[in-house]
Amino acid sequence: MKFKSATLLLCAFFSAQLCAEALPSTPYVVVRGHAERNMVPDRFEIAITVQKTGLSVSEASASVESKTAAMVQSLKALGLKPAQITATNISISPEYRYDNATQKNVFIGNQVNRSVNAKFEDKKTLQKFLTQVPDGEEIRIGGITSSLSTQKAVESELLDAAVADAKNQAVTLLDKFGQKVIGLYTVSQEAPSIGFESKAMYRSMDAAAPPLGSTMEEGVITVNKDVYVVYLIAAK
């Protein structure tokens, strides 16, 4: 786990302009504690679009339905449960191309499409599925989203670590000035309006989009937490 240094502001004297109403009227220190962790994702969600354009709506629809059914069957054969697979209803819309000679839109057919989303619980199963996707412009992979199965647990651990980091920073700083913490006033992810950011700098997740193929790398997800702690202080 990696901790960044906290930002601290010691208020020995107060002014109405500097200190917000939510802050104490006695000496205090405001500490921003930070904790973050880089992790390898273990969950992957893929978006697939099956699309066909043709003058015959029935033929285009039949083609899309057939390929969508084959796609879903392939996913189930790999062990995905119904809850891990979602498909939209069929969509039909006219498609045109612009003719420069006549300067008019020319009807070229009806575009029929369906979308399928699949959630994989490991990288190997996803890789196996990608090798089974047929070539051609009718099936398009929209992208892959990475995530963590342990997201809530990790965020809870990081919140505890950020609070501990804030306390350590406060004790270290105050010791240099012959001060000590005598009480906890507030803990929040919202920054007091005394020069800090108006919002706690909190990102639940940042996922690097993984490349496709047999050598796919997961990338890294950064989970981090920031807390703002107000401690009451006094001379030692």
Tens digit of pLDDT for each residue in 38-58? 998 999 999 999 999 999 999
Q: What is the DSSP string of the chain?
A: -B-PPPPEEEESS--TTTS-TTS-SS-EEEEEEEEEEEE---EEEEEEEEEEEES-HHHHHHHHHHHHHHHHHHHHHTT--GGGEEEPPPEEEEEEEEETTTTEEEEEEEEEEEEEEEEESSHHHHHHHHHHSPPSTTEEEEEEEEE-TTHHHHHHHHHHHHHHHHHHHHHHHHHHTTEEEEEEEEEESSPPTTTS-SS----S-EEPPPPPSTT-----EEEEEEEEEEEEEEE-
Q: CB 127: neighbour CB atoms within 10 A?
A: 16
Domain boundaries, the chain: 8-40+150-235, 43-147
Structure tokens at 84: 């891990």
Determine the CATH number of domain 8-40+150-235.
Answer: 3.30.110.170
According to DSSP, the residues that pair with 30 across neighbouring strands are 9, 230
pLDDT at 66 > cutoff 90: yes
Of 17-31, 89-103, 113-127, 222-236, which gets the smallest average pLDDT?
17-31
Which of 52-66, 83-97, 193-207 is predicted with the least confidence, judged by mean pLDDT? 193-207
Contact (CB, 8 A) for 172 and 33: no
Q: Is the pLDDT of residue 2 over 80?
A: no
State residue 217's pLDDT score: 54
| Residue 96 scores a pLDDT above 80 | yes
What average pLDDT does range 203-232 have in this prediction?
A: 64
Task: Report the pLDDT averaged over residues 212-233.
Answer: 77
Per the prediction, the chain carries an average pLDDT of: 82
The predicted pLDDT at position 5 comes to 39
Joined tokens for residue 17: 């302009």
pTM beyond 0.75, yes or no? no
CA 91 to each of CA 75, 112, 114: distance values in angstroms, whole numbers, following the listed order: 22, 6, 6
The whole-number pLDDT of residue 58 equals 94
138-164 average pLDDT score:
92
Q: How many CB atoms lie within 10 A of CB 154?
A: 18
Residue 198 has pLDDT above 60, yes or no: no
Q: Which residue has the tokens 């199965």?
A: 149
What is the domain class of 43-147 according to CATH? alpha beta
Q: How confident is the model at residue 137 (pLDDT cuts 50, 70, 90)?
A: confident
Q: Which pLDDT band holds residue 194 (cuts at 50, 70, 90)?
A: low
**Residue 156 confidence (pLDDT):** 94
Pseudo-torsion of CA 57, 62, 65, 70, nearest 10°? -150
